[in-house]
């Protein structure tokens, strides 16, 4: 029970960071692949290097739903993050329909942004 | 205790206390985290706002800078509120004893299924969902309220009667109001209200678009009431029952509602709950709560190494006494995505009325007015017919012999074939609902893995064969109790939405809801322009561009509707507001953005404002929470049309293509 009291704020903070990452990915790169590649628990680089299939996208989308849906993520940014996730999923599931060939994702190297991206106060 | 201390001490003081070693290190850690959280909250909205400003043409655009400050303030406010909640949870889990199921979850929402005829309530006990029983050991309680002298009593405890046999007769005595769920939030022009005139209590209509006159017989006098009041009395008794079981006060609830419920009807349910001292955390369409339960069972199979983990498509068909709904859901990894929803106001009550009419076609001409004789014979006929329908589920032929008094008798043998012929129109409607659901989800019967049949009417053989036939299945999904599924799902959602997590992972579930009806505004004359189409995943935000229809038009009316009709007036009017101070310009040159937003709690907000031309004194975007209408919306749309004609009209602008 002590574990619960201790753990709760940490998980909420992780949730908030995950939701924030989605906003950042959408705003700095305007790339739906970047939105869907946001992971929140460390393995987000692995998905962007492997090939993209409908099923891999769907799996990632589902995982992010459990992380970002406002029922699951009580941070203020969750609502907006989930809407971005839906947009990303709608766009990418059309581009990669079920049964389509596996393709490598487009180069998602973050281009140097025209305006410096404010990532919030450092902490 | 922890909460009080922190309130008085504050963050800065906590830091200094910690450094001097007075405050325990663990508490300090919590305080720092919360402070950081507050910081992140203020920063979180920034990127979204930036996105909006940078992409003026994109769907997020149109909401001007002026709203930014409001956003920021709200975010901080929310963060503060959240931290407060956090303390409650953290301190409660520390201070309470070992009795986890009873005490640790005081803020967990309960699940309530208010059915047209039966009602049940369930709670999350810490590791599973438990349905509560009333004092008579019933899980399903009859939904009614008895009006007797000055005392009101609901069906939760069995009303005034203590014996089972007498209850049904008392309900039909004219002194009890039931079928609240069918009557709530409906005008007297509604056909469902018209069809309710054969009930033992009084339902009078004048057909002018106001609420019907509903009354119960108390000491030979009609005592008027409203469905909201009746529901509130019922919920109050239900709440008392739950509190008696849990031994602590209950505040939050998740209720299941039919898919066919309009947003206006939803506000009536919320009002009834408020009257009973319950806060509605979520209103869940019934099949979606079953989808959540199904997702949990699929996850359980996976844990037991019996499931495959691949996506499963299920069609859920629910038919109770008052409504019938269908949903298609795609489930994998504990996430159940609602692909399509459809519903209608046909139910067991209609089947009952049809059979009653078939057994005694000239019933209406036998009695003039709502006399005691009429009430008594309606009651007897209703009970006999109910019995026949139940028996026909297992028997091919049922004999009816009932003396209605006053020399009227019904004696007949009703066969199953005849019963199905009498109710053919209802079965056809059920077919239509399922076909629409499959078409909306863009699926064929072959795609469906499981057919889930729930609700009281799912026992009727013809309903089963219709649904299974359409889905080309031999049998329905087992393992879900047709009468307890909806309330169990609601209790699960109650736990999830209250933020409860289970270490074993049995709450790592989610239902992504979809909008059951198109949402849009009146445009291009009397047409309906859908901004959020039905079956859009919630939370959702969509927008559309509109323009003026007259030269130098400075005002525009945004009339928000919900429904499936192509004409605005065929749909439910949710509310309306005006955009004023539009810069005078030639028609078709002004761009007005209308944006609709539904959040996770299903609250609908409409934003509207002028995007082009951007003048000096451009008024800020207006944000309105819907529905705004309180009552009598039956004739509001017509009154608006009569008053303003087309002077405030808007026309939709075809969507521009973005690279």
Q: What is the pLDDT of residues B105-147, one digit of tens each?
A: 568 999 999 999 999 999 999 889 999 998 888 889 999 999 9
Per-residue pLDDT at B8 exceeds 50: no
Q: Which residue of A has its CA nearest to B59?
A: A87
Ranges B154-168, B263-277, B287-301: which has the least confidence: B154-168
Cβ proximity of B167 and B161 under 8 Å: yes
Q: Which residues of B78-87 are buried (b: 16+ CB within 10 A; e: fewer)?
A: ebeebbeebb
Task: Provide the pLDDT confidence category of residue B348 given band limits of 50, 70 and 90.
Answer: very high
Give residue A44's pLDDT.
43
A62 touches chain B (CB under 8 A): yes
Determine the residue among A1, A5, A22, A25 to mutate to test chain B binding: the one whose Cβ has the most chain B Cβ atoms within 10 Å. A5
Q: Higher confidence at residue B104 or residue B265?
A: B265
The CATH number of domain B517-652, selected from 2.60.34.10, 3.40.50.620, 3.40.190.10, 3.40.50.12780 = 2.60.34.10
Check: CATH 3.30.450.80 for B348-421?
no
- B380 min Cα distance to partner chain A (Å): 48
User: Which member of A27, A83, A87 has the closest CB to residue B47?
Assistant: A27
The reply to whether residue A69 touches residue B48, judged by beta carbons under 8 angstroms, is: no
Determine the residue among B6, B33, B38, B44 to mutate to test chain A binding: the one whose Cβ has the most chain A Cβ atoms within 10 Å. B44
Instruction: Give the DSSP H or E segment for B6.
Output: helix B2-9
The reply to whether residue B48 touches residue A10, judged by beta carbons under 8 angstroms, is: no
- pTM, two decimals, is 0.82
Instruction: Give the DSSP H or E segment for B575.
Output: strand B572-579
Give residue B473's pLDDT.
94
Give residue A34's pLDDT.
83
Beta bridge partners of residue B622, listed in sequence order = B608
For the segment B649-658, the average pLDDT, to the nearest whole number, is: 77
The share of chain B scoring above pLDDT 90, in percent, equals 59
Question: CA dist B247 to B96, B113, B116, B239, B275, Å?
Answer: 14, 21, 28, 11, 21
Per-residue pLDDT at B50 exceeds 90: no
Place of tokens 């291009």: B524
Sequence-distant (6+) residues with CB within 8 A of A14 are A40, A41
A14 touches chain B (CB under 8 A): no
The CATH number of domain B109-280, selected from 3.40.190.10, 2.102.10.10, 3.60.21.10, 3.30.420.40 = 3.30.420.40
Closest Cα partner for B556 from B528, B506, B590, B518?
A: B590
Per-residue pLDDT at B90 exceeds 70: no
Cβ proximity of B546 and B352 under 8 Å: no
- B141 min Cα distance to partner chain A (Å): 30
Task: Provide the pLDDT confidence category of residue B629 given band limits of 50, 70 and 90.
Answer: confident
Ranges A98-107, B66-75, B406-415, B574-583: which has the least confidence: B66-75
Q: What is the average pLDDT score of chain A?
A: 72
Residues of chain B with CATH 3.90.640.10: 348-421
Per-residue pLDDT at B525 exceeds 50: yes
Q: How far apart are CA B442 and CA B437, in angstroms?
A: 9
Task: Provide the pLDDT confidence category of residue B164 given band limits of 50, 70 and 90.
Answer: low
**Residue-wise DSSP of B391-405:** HHTT-SEEEEEEEEE
User: Which member of A13, A30, A82 has the closest CB to residue B36?
Assistant: A13
Q: Is the ipTM of this complex over 0.85?
A: no
What 3-state DSSP class applies to B337?
Answer: strand
User: Which member of B30, B311, B334 has the closest CB to residue A9?
Assistant: B30
Ranges B65-74, B399-408, B491-500: which has the least confidence: B65-74
Per-residue pLDDT at B428 exceeds 90: yes
A51 touches chain B (CB under 8 A): no
For the segment B617-631, the average pLDDT, to the nearest whole number, is: 82
Strands B591-598 and B540-548, by their bridges, are antiparallel
Cβ proximity of B485 and B347 under 8 Å: no
User: Which member of B48, B90, B510 has the closest CB to residue A66?
Assistant: B510
Task: Provide the pLDDT confidence category of residue B628 given band limits of 50, 70 and 90.
Answer: confident
Give residue A99's pLDDT.
80
Sequence-distant (6+) residues with CB within 8 A of B519 are B530, B531, B532, B560, B561, B562, B596, B598, B604
Residues of chain B with CATH 3.30.420.40: 109-280
Cβ proximity of B367 and B200 under 8 Å: no
Per-residue pLDDT at B625 exceeds 60: yes
Cβ proximity of B608 and B592 under 8 Å: yes
Q: Higher confidence at residue B36 or residue A92?
A: A92
| DSSP annotation of B196 | G
Place of tokens 């009080």: B4
The reply to whether residue A75 touches residue B41, judged by beta carbons under 8 angstroms, is: yes
Give residue B631's pLDDT.
65
Q: How far apart are CA B573 and CA B575, in angstroms?
A: 6
The reply to whether residue B51 touches residue A66, judged by beta carbons under 8 angstroms, is: no
Sequence-distant (6+) residues with CB within 8 A of B287 are B259, B316, B317, B318, B325, B326, B327, B329, B341
Residues of chain B with CATH 2.60.34.10: 517-652
CB pairs under 8 A between A and B: 130
Residues of chain B neighbouring A86 (CB-CB closer than 8 A): 537, 540
- Cα dihedral B29/A82/B252/B347 (nearest 10): -160
User: Which member of A27, A59, A123 has the closest CB to residue B50?
Assistant: A27
The reply to whether residue B34 touches residue A62, judged by beta carbons under 8 angstroms, is: no
Beta bridge partners of residue B410, listed in sequence order = B402
Encode pLDDT of A36-95 as tens digits.
875 444 444 444 446 778 888 888 899 899 999 998 888 889 999 999 999 999 988 888
Task: Provide the pLDDT confidence category of residue A15 given band limits of 50, 70 and 90.
Answer: confident
The reply to whether residue A27 touches residue B332, judged by beta carbons under 8 angstroms, is: no
- B45 min Cα distance to partner chain A (Å): 6
The interface residues of chain A toward chain B in range 64-123, judged by CB-CB distance below 8 A, are 65-66, 69-72, 74-77, 79-80, 82-83, 86-87, 117-121, 123
What 3-state DSSP class applies to A38?
Answer: coil
- Residue B401 has φ and ψ, to the nearest 5°, of -140, 105
Q: How far apart are CA B248 and CA B242, in angstroms?
A: 9
């Amino acid at each position: 029970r002590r574990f619960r009291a201790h753990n709760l704020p940490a998980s909420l903070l992780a949730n908030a960071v995950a939701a924030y990452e989605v906003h950042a990915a959408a705003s700095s790169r305007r790339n739906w692949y970047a939105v869907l590649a946001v992971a929140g628990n460390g393995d987000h680089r692995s998905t962007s290097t492997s090939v993209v299939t409908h099923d891999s996208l769907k799996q990632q989308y589902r995982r992010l739903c459990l992380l970002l849906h406002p029922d699951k993520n009580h941070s203020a940014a969750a609502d907006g993050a989930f809407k971005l996730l839906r947009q990303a999923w709608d766009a990418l599931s059309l581009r990669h329909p079920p049964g389509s060939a596996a393709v490598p994702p487009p180069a998602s190297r973050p281009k140097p942004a025209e305006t410096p991206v404010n990532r919030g106060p450092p902490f | 205790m922890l909460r009080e201390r922190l309130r008085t001490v504050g963050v800065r003081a906590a830091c200094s206390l910690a450094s001097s070693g007075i405050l325990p290190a663990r508490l300090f850690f919590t305080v720092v985290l919360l402070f950081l959280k507050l910081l992140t909250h203020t920063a979180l909205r920034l990127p979204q706002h930036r996105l909006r400003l940078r992409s003026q043409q994109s769907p997020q655009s149109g909401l001007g800078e002026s709203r930014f400050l409001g956003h920021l303030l709200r975010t901080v406010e929310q963060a503060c509120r959240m931290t407060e909640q956090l303390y409650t949870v953290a301190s409660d889990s520390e201070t309470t004893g070992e009795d986890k199921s009873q005490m640790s979850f005081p803020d967990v929402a309960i699940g309530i299924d208010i059915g047209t005829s039966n009602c049940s309530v369930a709670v999350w006990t810490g590791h599973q969902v438990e349905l509560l029983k009333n004092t008579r050991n019933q899980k399903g309680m009859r939904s009614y309220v008895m009006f007797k002298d000055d005392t009101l009593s609901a069906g939760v405890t069995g009303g005034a009667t203590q014996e089972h046999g007498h209850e049904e007769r008392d309900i039909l005595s004219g002194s009890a109001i039931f079928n609240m769920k069918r009557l709530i939030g409906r005008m007297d022009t509604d056909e469902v209200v018209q069809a309710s005139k054969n009930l033992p209590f009084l339902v009078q209509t004048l057909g002018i678009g106001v609420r019907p006159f509903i009354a119960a017989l108390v000491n030979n006098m009609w005592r008027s009431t409203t469905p909201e009041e009746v529901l509130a009395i019922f919920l109050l008794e239900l709440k008392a029952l739950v509190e008696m079981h849990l031994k602590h006060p209950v505040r939050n609830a998740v209720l299941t509602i039919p898919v066919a419920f309009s947003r206006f009807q939803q506000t009536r349910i919320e009002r009834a709950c408020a009257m009973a001292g319950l806060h509605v955390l979520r209103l869940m369409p019934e099949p979606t709560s079953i989808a959540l339960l199904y997702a949990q069972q699929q996850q359980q199979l996976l844990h037991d190494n019996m499931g495959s983990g691949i996506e499963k498509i299920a069609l859920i068909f629910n038919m109770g006494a008052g409504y019938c709904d269908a949903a298609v859901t795609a489930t994998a990894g504990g996430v159940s995505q609602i692909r399509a929803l459809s519903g209608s106001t046909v139910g067991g009550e209609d089947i009952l009325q049809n059979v009653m009419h078939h057994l005694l076609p000239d019933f209406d001409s036998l009695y003039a007015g709502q006399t005691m004789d009429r009430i008594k014979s309606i009651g007897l006929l209703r009970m006999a017919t109910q019995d026949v329908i139940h028996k026909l589920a297992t028997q091919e032929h049922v004999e009816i012999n009932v003396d209605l008094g006053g020399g009227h008798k019904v004696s007949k043998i009703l066969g199953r074939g005849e019963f199905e012929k009498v109710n053919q129109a209802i079965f056809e409607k059920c077919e239509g609902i399922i076909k629409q659901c499959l078409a909306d989800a863009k699926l064929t019967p072959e795609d469906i893995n499981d057919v889930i049949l729930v609700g009281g009417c799912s026992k009727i053989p013809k309903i089963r064969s219709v649904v299974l036939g359409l889905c080309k299945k031999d049998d329905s999904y087992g393992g879900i109790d047709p009468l307890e599924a909806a309330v169990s799902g609601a209790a699960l959602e109650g736990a999830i939405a209250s933020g409860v997590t289970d270490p074993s992972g049995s709450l790592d579930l989610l239902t992504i809801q979809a909008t059951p009806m198109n949402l849009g505004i009146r445009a291009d004359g009397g047409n309906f322009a859908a901004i959020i189409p039905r079956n859009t995943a919630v939370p959702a935000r969509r927008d559309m561009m509109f323009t003026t229809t007259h030269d130098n038009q400075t005002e525009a009316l945004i009339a928000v509707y919900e429904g499936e009709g192509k004409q605005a007036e065929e749909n439910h009017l949710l509310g309306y507001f005006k955009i004023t101070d539009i810069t005078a310009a030639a028609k078709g040159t002004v761009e007005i953005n209308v944006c609709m937003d539904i959040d996770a709690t299903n609250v609908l907000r409409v934003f509207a404002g002028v995007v082009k031309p951007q003048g000096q004194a451009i008024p800020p975007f207006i944000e309105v929470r819907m529905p705004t209408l309180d009552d009598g919306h039956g004739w509001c749309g017509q009154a608006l049309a009569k008053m303003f004609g087309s002077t405030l009209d808007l026309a939709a602008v075809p969507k521009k293509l973005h690279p």
